[in-house]
């Protein structure tokens, strides 16, 4: 049933994008939904990315065949990683490293092991794989050069534990010789903003086609009002929070007052 729905969705995509279908492009992709709405009961979800790699004949274990990689990136952020150390018998934050303009969310899916897909410099340029993300550091770092690689590994490990970074090798499923799909999980703590969904088609380690879609993650309802109020009118938000706390305390005192 799922495959029938995906085939129908692809048919609708080609009908609504006739120019792309006629152009003979090697790669056509689409999303199961281009909007993810976050409400108070949001516990995470997943998106389905599907498409067709045209003009290819996919054979099992074919070293000359085509391979795919799909990368989902969230809006960039500056994120600081700190290392604790003992000071006068107490664990405190010591050295810190700030990574600039790194993806707030990063997930990659591929048909084969990422390292076997292309040369390292190609993967670095395209940012495909956790080992190939460009993690630029600020010029004010107080971390010795010998320890910077440890901070990078710790940063990636912590983001993986939070569910915000993931690498799913050999997870793209081919429904036919040319049609494919994959699922990308989105955790409950996913940041809001516009996400980039990029698909890369390789042949013998050379990039032959590329597509990009946009995924919007946003809050709706009361959560959206609260989020915008806290961001745009922080003073008003703070006063309302204090007033609500005072009112709640007074109300609790009235309810539980003993005569």
User: Does pLDDT of 234 surpass 70?
Assistant: yes
Token pair listed for 33:
């939904």
The alpha carbon dihedral of 50, 56, 61, 63 has a sign of negative
Q: Is the pLDDT of residue 71 over 80?
A: yes
Task: Check pLDDT > 80 for residue 199.
Answer: yes
Domain count, the chain: 2
- Say if residue 259 is in the same domain as residue 162: no
pLDDT at res. 23? 38
In terms of domains, do 162 and 68 share one?
A: yes
Domain ranges, residue 255: 221-259
Indicate the pLDDT class of residue 20, thresholds 50, 70 and 90: very low
* Token reading at 15: 């009908």
Q: Is the pLDDT confidence value at 65 over 70?
A: no
pLDDT at residue 236 in the model: 75
**Could you tell me the CATH number of the domain that includes residue 123?**
2.60.40.3880
Query: Among 19-33, 144-158, 179-193, 199-213, where is mean pLDDT lowest?
Result: 19-33
Q: Where are the alpha helices (DSSP H) in 112-233?
A: 120-126, 148-161, 222-232
pLDDT at residue 221 in the model = 63
pTM for the whole structure: 0.74
Q: Which residues pair with 76 in a beta bridge?
A: 103
Specify the 3-state DSSP secondary structure of 123.
helix
Q: How many CA atoms lie within 13 A of 238 on its CB side?
A: 5
Which of 9-23, 28-42, 211-225 is the most confident on average?
Answer: 28-42
Q: What is the pLDDT of residue 142?
A: 64
22 and 132 assigned to the same domain:
yes
């Amino acid at each position: 049933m799922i495959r029938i729905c995906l085939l129908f969705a692809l048919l609708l995509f080609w009908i609504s994008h006739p120019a792309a279908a006629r152009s003979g492009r090697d790669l056509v992709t689409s999303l199961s939904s281009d909007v993810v709405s976050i409400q108070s009961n949001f516990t995470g979800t997943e998106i389905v990315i599907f498409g067709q790699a045209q003009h290819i004949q996919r054979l099992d274990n074919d070293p000359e065949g085509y391979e795919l990689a799909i990368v989902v990136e969230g809006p960039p952020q500056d994120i600081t990683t700190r290392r604790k150390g003992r000071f006068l018998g107490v664990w405190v934050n010591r050295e810190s490293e700030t990574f600039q303009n790194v993806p707030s969310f990063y997930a990659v899916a591929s048909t084969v092991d990422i390292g076997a897909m292309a040369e390292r410099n190609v993967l670095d340029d395209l940012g495909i794989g956790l080992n190939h993300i460009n993690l630029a550091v600020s010029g004010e770092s107080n971390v010795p050069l010998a320890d910077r690689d440890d901070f990078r590994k710790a940063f990636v490990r912590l983001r993986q534990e939070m569910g915000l970074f993931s690498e799913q090798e050999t997870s793209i499923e081919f429904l036919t010789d040319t049609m494919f799909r994959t699922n990308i999980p989105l955790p409950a703590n996913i940041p809001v903003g516009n996400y980039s969904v990029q698909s890369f088609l390789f042949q013998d380690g050379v990039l032959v086609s590329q597509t990009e879609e946009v995924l919007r993650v946003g809050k709706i309802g009361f959560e959206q009002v609260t989020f915008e109020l806290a961001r745009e009118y922080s003073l008003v938000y703070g006063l309302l929070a204090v007033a609500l706390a005072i009112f709640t305390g007074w109300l609790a005192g009235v309810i539980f007052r003993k005569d």
